[in-house]
Amino acid sequence: MIFGLDFTWLNPNAFNLLGRGMLVSLQITFVAMAAGIVWGTLVALMRLSSYRILNVAAATYVTVFRLVPLVMVLLWFFLIVPDLFQSLLGISAATDMRMVSALVAFALYEAAYYSEIIRAGIQSVSGRQQHAAYALGMTYGQSMRLVVLPQAFRNMVPLLLTQGIILFQDTSLVYVIALADFFGQTYGIGERNGDVVEALFFAGLVYFIICYTVSLGVRRIHGRG
């Protein structure tokens, strides 16, 4: 008993389930972060484009995803993605489409936020850098890929990692599609053992420790920058 809370439910079997749940949470975090940055970069470039149709399309995309609650996005994709992927790609019905739906939803949702970070990072690079690249005979694409984006990403690392921390916290919302992430596993164990309060306290403590540790690393990186 600690502060009147009973943690005897934390046995080897519980830790095994919690470990599997944490793997799900981390998988969603890293895949969505990588895909979100890639797609977010393309959206950011579209927003900076001189072509109005690309600019408007990207702005609409960002506005829609930033104004809709993430839990609703998860439910939308959970209802849409399985049938779409199974019909278009021929994915077996035995595939756990809950994970596929979560990955697609998080990647597209996070891309809207990453695109704004990346757009600001690109705009923070002096225009003289791009003019110098043009003077060397580079095309717009080459100047972006070889000159502007490397500098922009160097400036954006702390913000990208901070958004990654928020993404990790948000993975707990996959409970709405019955996906057993770390939070879902913890809550399920607590509910079965009648220790819901203890389970929620433990889950919150783990999230705090992980996020606080990563945030310290982000501060160190930012300090070096």
Superfamily, domain 12-224 = MetI-like (1.10.3720.10)
Contact indicator for 177, 31 with CB cutoff of 8 Å: no
The whole model's pTM is what?
0.86
Q: Is 194 left (phi over 0), alpha (psi -120 to 50) or beta?
A: left
Extents of the domains making up the chain = 12-224
Query: Taking a C-beta distance cutoff of 8 angstroms, is the pair 225, 158 a contact?
Result: yes
Maximum mean pLDDT: which of 67-71, 125-129, 142-146: 67-71
Local confidence band at 220 (pLDDT 50, 70, 90 cut-offs): confident
Q: Kindly state the percentage of the chain with pLDDT values over 90.
A: 50
Amino acid making up residue 15: F
How many residues are recorded in the chain?
Answer: 225
Tens digit of each residue's pLDDT (9 = 90 or more) over 67-79: 999 999 999 888 8
Distance of CA 43 to the CA centre of its chain: 16
